Chains A and B, each alone.
Chain A
Amino acid sequence: MSTLDIKITIKLIGPFVNQLGFSEKTMSFPDGVTVETVLSSLPLDPKRPKIVTRNGQAVASGERLSHGDRLAISPLYSGG
């Protein structure tokens, strides 16, 4: 781990918790990491529609993350 690494908290929602085996975890990533890179580092089905939010706001896959960001990854719920 480089000292320049940033910490991102990943919050999984719904069945992703069971699929990946954790609910919330803070992980280190290289500075400048994008949402897409974080997502591809996780064993998630890339074809499954998801909604990803950064600090509670929807985020595009190319966006760069900052130290301390919270990334919530959820299946695309459509409402009860």
Chain B
Amino acid sequence: MHGWTGNILRINLTNRTHKVDHFDEEFARKWVGGRGFALKILWDELKPGIDPLGPENKLIVTVGPIAGIPAPNTGKTVVAAKSPLTGGYGDGNLGTRVTEQMRKAGYDIIIIEGKADSPVYLYIEDDRVEYLAADEIWGKGTYDTHDWLYKKYGKGAGVLSIGQGGENLNLYSMVRSLEGRAGGRPGIGAVMGSKKLKAIVIKGSKPIPVADPEGMRKLGLEDLRKVGEIDKKTGWSIQGTTGVLAWCNEVAALPVHNMRKTHHPEAWKIDGERLNNARVATYGCPNCTMRCGITILDHEGHESELDYENIGMLGSNLDIFELDQVASLNYLCDDYGLDTISAGAVLAFYADAIEQGAIKGDFKFGDAEMAKKLLGLAARREGEVGNLLADGSLRMARKIGHNSEAYAMQVKGLEISAYNCKFIPGMALAFGTSPIGAHHKESWVITFELKQTRRDSYGPEKAAKVIELQRIRGGLFEFIVACRFPWIELGWQLEHYAEYFNKITGLNWTLDDFWKVADRIYALMKFFWVREFPFWDRTRDYPPMVWFDPKNADTEGPIAGKYLELDKYNQLLDYYYEQRGWDKRGIPTRKTAEALDLKQEADEVEKFTKLE
């Protein structure tokens, strides 16, 4: 077998033991890597109904066959577990040196089980695994934690860590790597914290098994150069993802005031142009020649790296239009190890609930200083307010009551990222059907909706586009494990990824083979949810009700008076389910499951609900 090491490092923190298990080529071909591996292992090894923050949950760190190999944007790793935020399948990817180091250490998958009796961090070097006391870093933010570990192990080590958010079981805490980004929006940091695992440090020295090492090396380096050239020519990384902010403001898709508004006259103050002008450094993941992280100085003078999602959610969505203050909130989230998207959504929901009179409090939209304080409370779960905010917007709404769930901007418990779909049906469908809760990473159809079809259409072409993009973004890029940006932003052809995959594995796959794996993974992710929530119905694929409320429609601007229509959204969901071969509840039918080689999994899910 080429491309995969076939090794799973299984670590048990309860009794501080580890062993190496193996997977075979059939498993590799069926699930490929990253999300595919994590999902299948969690499906097979977790009993339904377990407490996501209990020792029975498992933290998976995994890569794919092209991960870590020099080629366009292959520096990503997937972290996954049963999500404490949503109760369903949860994962995320992040740029990190762990990707390459883990492969060089000889592993495609690390499974972390049990729970340590006191805070630890793991040091993994090839076959060696050490369980080390984390007393000196427990309680520290991710910046200090990384610095401490780099001093000890050198800058070449791959490091994943949590901040105070993960330690204190904030449900939207993430896993962070200073060599890249943060990942695991659905509370994967809290899972790490629940195991009292502060960090993982990895170093490796073995060769990565590649079928055609020389051919791949030449091709990968050449393509890295080409991608860098395209980026320079198009100027994409001048503003990176933040270019989209001004556009969202133009077309009424910007999150403003807990997504109650879609544009704002002061949005220009926090747009990509201002950000680029304030840039003090550029930041990127390993193996990337189109580095998109723009770093500026925040209000307190820290370097803070921003992208569109965090400006949208911690800026406009909170009515904060001072870039340095947005950078401060972003810095705090990064240091505490909190998801910037959920943190912004949670604070906006809190301000909105106070404004609506549903709860008493002294936080108002636009108050950056109070927002900073609240982030600290949420990260440390301090007091009643800290505990309320640490649980995410859906649980908050259920505590607050007064119909506030209608404007808790989440799907399946995961907060919606920075695209306001008040009147963007296809993107609302993308959030509704995203398999880990609302996330833009699975499918992004807004420009398609506006350019190739009518904004007010709820036609089958939108469902088809959502599925096409889910196959590519939530499928291919999550299971071969690479950053999608060369393809989505620079037009780097998908065929290149098949070429890399074949050179690495020695197989002869076409894109169609990838799409089958993607559909299999999407079907099994749905089964995972259904096994956890057996009375599953389509309402779980609905976006928040406020988007269907005529009273919430904009009163001026490009979409004045417009709102999503529930009966039409249901029709769109029907198109989506039909095209996927899922039933009216949104569950894959037995026929669909069997066509995707999921017979065993279908038998298992039938213990919980009847399949059609």
Interface residues of A (CB under 8 A from B): 11, 13-15, 17-19, 23, 48-49, 51, 53, 55-58, 70, 72, 74-80
B239 CB–A CB distance under 8 Å = yes
B446 CB–A CB distance under 8 Å = yes
With contact pairs A79-B446, A80-B308 given, residues A13 and B558 touching in the complex (Cβ less than 8 Å): no
Which single residue of chain B is at the shortest CB-CB distance from A50? B451
Tell me the bound Cα distance from A74 to B272 in angstroms: 13
Tell me the bound Cα distance from A13 to B250 in angstroms: 10
Interface of B is mostly: helix
B354 CB–A CB distance under 8 Å = no
B488 CB–A CB distance under 8 Å = yes
Chain A residues in 8 Å Cβ range of B447 = 51, 76-79
B559 CB–A CB distance under 8 Å = yes
Which single residue of chain B is at the shortest CB-CB distance from A80? B241
Q: A68 to nearest B CB, angstroms? A: 14
With contact pairs A23-B273, A76-B451, A77-B489 given, residues A13 and B444 touching in the complex (Cβ less than 8 Å): no
Q: A26 to nearest B CB, angstroms? A: 15
Q: B517 to nearest A CB, angstroms? A: 22
Tell me the bound Cα distance from A70 to B534 in angstroms: 51
Interface residues of B (CB under 8 A from A): 234-236, 238-239, 241, 243-244, 246-247, 250-252, 263, 272-273, 307-309, 419, 440, 444, 446-447, 450-451, 455, 488-489, 491, 557-559
Given contacts A55-B558, A74-B250, A77-B243, 20 further A-B contacts (CB under 8 A): A14-B239, A14-B246, A15-B236, A15-B239, A23-B273, A53-B250, A53-B450, A56-B250, A57-B251, A72-B247, A74-B243, A74-B246, A75-B243, A77-B247, A77-B489, A79-B446, A79-B447, A80-B308, A80-B309, A80-B444
Chain B residues in 8 Å Cβ range of A75 = 234, 236, 243
Which single residue of chain B is at the shortest CB-CB distance from A60? B451
When the two chains form their complex, are residues B559 and A56 in contact, meaning their CB atoms are under 8 A apart? yes
When the two chains form their complex, are residues B246 and A79 in contact, meaning their CB atoms are under 8 A apart? no
Chain B residues in 8 Å Cβ range of A56 = 250-252, 263, 557-559
When the two chains form their complex, are residues B250 and A72 in contact, meaning their CB atoms are under 8 A apart? yes
Chain A residues in 8 Å Cβ range of B250 = 11, 13, 53, 56, 70, 72, 74
With contact pairs A14-B272, A53-B250, A56-B558 given, residues A77 and B238 touching in the complex (Cβ less than 8 Å): no
**B273 touches which one: A17, A19, A51, A77 (CB < 8 A)?**
A17
Chain B residues in 8 Å Cβ range of A74 = 243, 246-247, 250
When the two chains form their complex, are residues B558 and A79 in contact, meaning their CB atoms are under 8 A apart? no
Tell me the bound Cα distance from A14 to B558 in angstroms: 21
Tell me the bound Cα distance from A75 to B273 in angstroms: 14
Tell me the bound Cα distance from A57 to B419 in angstroms: 16
Q: A61 to nearest B CB, angstroms? A: 11
Tell me the bound Cα distance from A80 to B446 in angstroms: 12
Query: Can you list 30 contacts pairing A with B, beta carbon distance less than 8 Å?
Result: A11-B246, A13-B246, A13-B247, A14-B238, A14-B243, A14-B246, A15-B234, A15-B236, A15-B239, A17-B273, A18-B235, A23-B273, A51-B247, A53-B250, A56-B250, A56-B263, A57-B251, A57-B450, A74-B243, A74-B247, A74-B250, A75-B234, A77-B243, A77-B247, A77-B489, A79-B444, A79-B446, A79-B447, A79-B488, A80-B440
Q: A52 to nearest B CB, angstroms? A: 9
Chain B residues in 8 Å Cβ range of A23 = 273
